[in-house]
Structure 1
Amino acid sequence: MKKILIIDDSALMRRVMSDIINTDSEMCVTDTAENGVAAVELLKQGKEYELILLDINMPRMDGLSFLKYLNEKEIHIPVLVVSSLASKSTEETIQALELGAYDFAKKPSRTLGNEEDFPKQLLAKAKCAFTIQQAKPVKKKEKKQVADSRPVKNQTDGGKTTKRVQTCEFAVIASSTGGPKALKSVVPKLPKTFSCPLVIVQHMPTGFTASLAKRLDEMSACKVLETEDGMEAEAGKVYVAKGGYQLRMEKDNRGKMVFSVKKEPVRNGLRPCADVFLESLLDAPYQHILCTVLTGMGNDATHGLEQLKEKKEIYVIGQSERTCVVYGMPFALEKAGLSDEILDLEQIADVMFKRMR
Structure 2
Amino acid sequence: MKPYQVLVVDDSAFMRKIISDLIENDANFQVAATASNGREAIEKVNELSPDLVTMDVEMPEMNGLEALKIIMAQRPLPVIMLSGINEEGMKETILALEWGAFDFIRKPSISNSQDIIAVGVSLREQMKEAMLARQQREARASAYKVPELPAAEAASAPQPVRGPAKQPPEAPKKAPELPRKLADKPKAKPELSPAPEMVKGKGSPGRTSPEGALPPGAAKGPARLPKPASDPSRNRSKEEAKPVQPDSRPAAAANLESSAAGGDRKPNNKGLRKLVAVGCSTGGPRALKAFLENIPADFPAPIVIVQHMPPNFTKSLAQRLNTFSPLEVAEAEQGMILRQGAAYIAPGGYHMRVVPAAGGQYAIDLTLEEARNGHRPSVDTLFESILPYTSLERHAVIMTGMGSDGARMMKSLYDSGVTSTFAESEETCVVYGMPRSAVELHCVRHVLPLQEIAPRLVQAVK
TM-score, normalised by the number of residues in structure 1:
0.87
Corresponding residue for residue 80 of structure 1: 80
Q: Distance in 2 between matches of 1:279 and 1:84?
A: 33
Corresponding residue for residue 11 of structure 1: 13
Deviation at 1:79, TM superposition (A): 0.4
Corresponding residue for residue 458 of structure 2: 353
Q: Distance in 2 between matches of 1:255 and 1:198?
A: 17
* Paired AA for residue 89 in structure 2: S
Deviation at 1:213, TM superposition (A): 0.5
- Checking the alignment, whether the CA contact within 8 Å between 1:97 and 1:178 is kept in structure 2 is yes
Deviation at 1:173, TM superposition (A): 1.4
Deviation at 1:314, TM superposition (A): 3.2
Match among 390, 398, 410 for residue 305 of structure 1? 410
Match among 230, 243, 247 for residue 335 of structure 2? 230
Indicate whether 1:48 and 2:49 are aligned: yes
Corresponding residue for residue 219 of structure 1: 324
* Paired AA for residue 200 in structure 1: I
SS at match of 1:239: strand
CA distance 1:52–1:142, change in 2 (3 Å)? farther
Structure 2 counterparts to residues 78-227 of structure 1, below 5 A: 78-109=78-109, 114-133=115-134, 169-227=274-332
Q: Distance in 2 between matches of 1:196 and 1:275?
A: 20
Report which stretch shifted further, 276-285 or 181-190: 276-285
Match among 22, 25, 28 for residue 23 of structure 1? 25
Corresponding residue for residue 37 of structure 1: 39
SS at match of 1:67: helix
- Checking the alignment, whether the CA contact within 8 Å between 1:5 and 1:49 is kept in structure 2 is yes
Q: Distance in 1 between matches of 2:355 and 2:112?
A: 33
1:140-180 deviation per Cα after TM superposition (whole angstroms, max 9, x unaligned): 95888xxxxxxxxxxxxxxxxxxxxxxx7110111111111
Corresponding residue for residue 145 of structure 2: none
Q: Distance in 1 between matches of 2:361 and 2:307?
A: 25
SS at match of 2:340: coil
1:60-112 deviation per Cα after TM superposition (whole angstroms, max 9, x unaligned): 11111011101332x12100011111111111100000110011111113699
Q: Distance in 2 between matches of 1:231 and 1:211?
A: 19
SS at match of 2:293: helix
* Paired AA for residue 69 in structure 1: I
Corresponding residue for residue 338 of structure 1: 443
Q: Distance in 2 between matches of 1:47 and 1:238?
A: 43
Indicate whether 1:326 and 2:458 are aligned: no
Corresponding residue for residue 276 of structure 1: 381
Deviation at 1:283, TM superposition (A): 2.5
Report which stretch shifted further, 113-122 or 330-339: 113-122
TM-score, normalised by the number of residues in structure 2:
0.68
Q: Distance in 2 between matches of 1:331 and 1:224?
A: 27
Corresponding residue for residue 164 of structure 1: none
* Paired AA for residue 54 in structure 1: M
Q: Distance in 1 between matches of 2:418 and 2:115?
A: 42
Deviation at 1:16, TM superposition (A): 0.1
Structure with bigger strand share is 1
Deviation at 1:123, TM superposition (A): 1.4
Q: Distance in 1 between matches of 2:28 and 2:168?
A: 40
- Report % sequence identity: 35
Larger of the two Rg values belongs to structure: 2
- Checking the alignment, whether the CA contact within 8 Å between 2:408 and 2:438 is kept in structure 1 is no
1:26-61 deviation per Cα after TM superposition (whole angstroms, max 9, x unaligned): 0000100000111122133x3111110001100111
* Paired AA for residue 274 in structure 2: E
SS at match of 2:319: helix
- Superposition CA RMSD, Å: 2.3
- Checking the alignment, whether the CA contact within 8 Å between 1:170 and 1:286 is kept in structure 2 is no
Equivalent pairs, count: 330
1:209-268 deviation per Cα after TM superposition (whole angstroms, max 9, x unaligned): 111110000111110011111111111101111111111111246764211111211001
The higher-RCO structure (CA 8 Å, 6+ apart) is: 1
* Paired AA for residue 211 in structure 1: S
CA distance 1:298–1:117, change in 2 (3 Å)? same
CA distance 1:141–1:16, change in 2 (3 Å)? farther
Deviation at 1:356, TM superposition (A): 2.9
- Checking the alignment, whether the CA contact within 8 Å between 2:277 and 2:382 is kept in structure 1 is no
Q: Distance in 1 between matches of 2:393 and 2:430?
A: 29
Deviation at 1:282, TM superposition (A): 1.9
Question: Structure 1: where are the runs of 5+ without partners?
Answer: 145-167
SS at match of 1:321: coil
